[in-house]
Amino acid sequence: MSKIKPAKGSPYARILGVGGYRPTRVVPNEVILETIDSSDEWIRSRSGIATRHWASPQETVAAMSVEASGKALADAGVAPEQIGAVIVSTVSHFKQTPAVATEIAHRVGAVKPAAFDISAGCAGFGYGLTLAKGMVVEGSAEYVLVIGVERLSDLTDLEDRATAFLFGDGAGAVVVGPSDEPAIGPTVWGSEGDKSDTIKQTVPWDEYLGKDAGEKFPAITQEGQAVFRWAVFEMAKVAQQALDAAGITAQDLDVFIPHQANMRIIDSMVKTLKLPEHVTVARDVETTGNTSAASIPLAMERLLATGAAKSGDTALVIGFGAGLVYAATVVTLP
């Protein structure tokens, strides 16, 4: 018989607060058109994007995360010293070690929390949320700060007509803590590594190092049509599986918050899932662009801030991207 004592966590976990940070610089499509042969009409029709935010040198991954985290903590009514773990999902923090989560934890005032980074692309927020739920229920942390943050402008090839208009910068954060009732459903997540080349960094860092000064800096590239088909058809199935796992139907939903990759993908998923008219759909991509791991918490924060969604609403969230990876779950909004 095991001598290990059972965990003393909460029976359930929930999102208690959310915060977001968007860089001050707003970049319209006209700026993108300075380096690619396209048009505002083409960009809007293909992606639904009109503007995006790009970070200044001072708006680092850590700085944006600290701002978003402070708002999330205030929204949750949780003091920084109560945070037991900090999880940061990002692909655009260029320092290999230490994890940027440790810097963020220190700057927000957390006291010796567990702190680590994860790399799960546009599904990263869902991965972090799932890990946080496990910590709270298991008892290793009472409150967990989950952050999705990107400076994708650093990894954008402004001469690539297929991707130059897609990416934006920003940070979104949530505080996950104990709950007396289920408020974060089972996660349906996974990966399809056979499709890893459809979204990737153009040149690995080890190949870039030592190249001539004129070598183009690594950027994110993708096979647009392949990604579109996969997202629309396969991710709609995953979204349905998340609804089934939570024991609800589309009729029970109040809000749908998909990864803000592309307006056409969002609209196609809504149609495939046959979401009722009453369901509020996040379409933050129009003014924020694709912010990868930050897109879901940023969209969640905006829906709540504008009153388009309210506390207690039932929301389906799904992230999907490079890997190819995905994560979907049903949550109660803070």
* Tokens found for residue 185: 């459903």
29 is catalytic: no
Which pLDDT belongs to residue 213?
A: 55
Which pLDDT belongs to residue 54?
A: 98
93 is catalytic: no
Which pLDDT belongs to residue 214?
A: 61
pLDDT digits (tens, 9 = 90+) for 61-76: 999 999 999 999 999 9
Which pLDDT belongs to residue 223?
A: 85
| Closest C-alpha to 143, from 180, 176, 118 | 176
What DSSP designation does 231 have?
Answer: I
Which pLDDT belongs to residue 51?
A: 98
Active-site residue identified among 29, 93, 262, 290: 290
Which pLDDT belongs to residue 7?
A: 74
Report d(CA 122, CA 129) in Å as an integer.
Answer: 13
Which pLDDT belongs to residue 134?
A: 98
Active-site residue identified among 29, 53, 93, 259: 259
Which pLDDT belongs to residue 170?
A: 98
Using DSSP bridges, classify how beta strands 199-201 and 220-222 pair: parallel, antiparallel or unpaired: antiparallel
Q: Is 319 in contact with 259 (CB distance < 8 Å)? A: yes
Which pLDDT belongs to residue 166?
A: 96
List C-alpha distances in Å: 241 to 74, 117, 309: 33, 27, 23
Count of CB atoms situated within 10 Å of the CB of 10: 17
Active-site residue identified among 53, 93, 122, 262: 122
Kindly give the interhelix angle for 235-246 and 263-273, rounded to the nearest 10 degrees: 50
Q: Is 167 in contact with 121 (CB distance < 8 Å)? A: no
Q: Which residues, at least 6 apart from 144, have a Cβ–Cβ distance to it below 8 Å? A: 83, 84, 85, 86, 87, 131, 132, 135, 136, 175, 176, 177
At residue 186, what is the residue type? Answer: P
Question: Mean pLDDT, 10 residues at a time, over the chain (334 residues)?
Answer: 80 98 98 96 96 98 98 98 98 94 98 98 97 97 98 96 96 98 98 90 78 75 86 93 98 98 96 96 98 98 98 98 94 98
Phi, psi of 81 (to 5 degrees): -70, -10
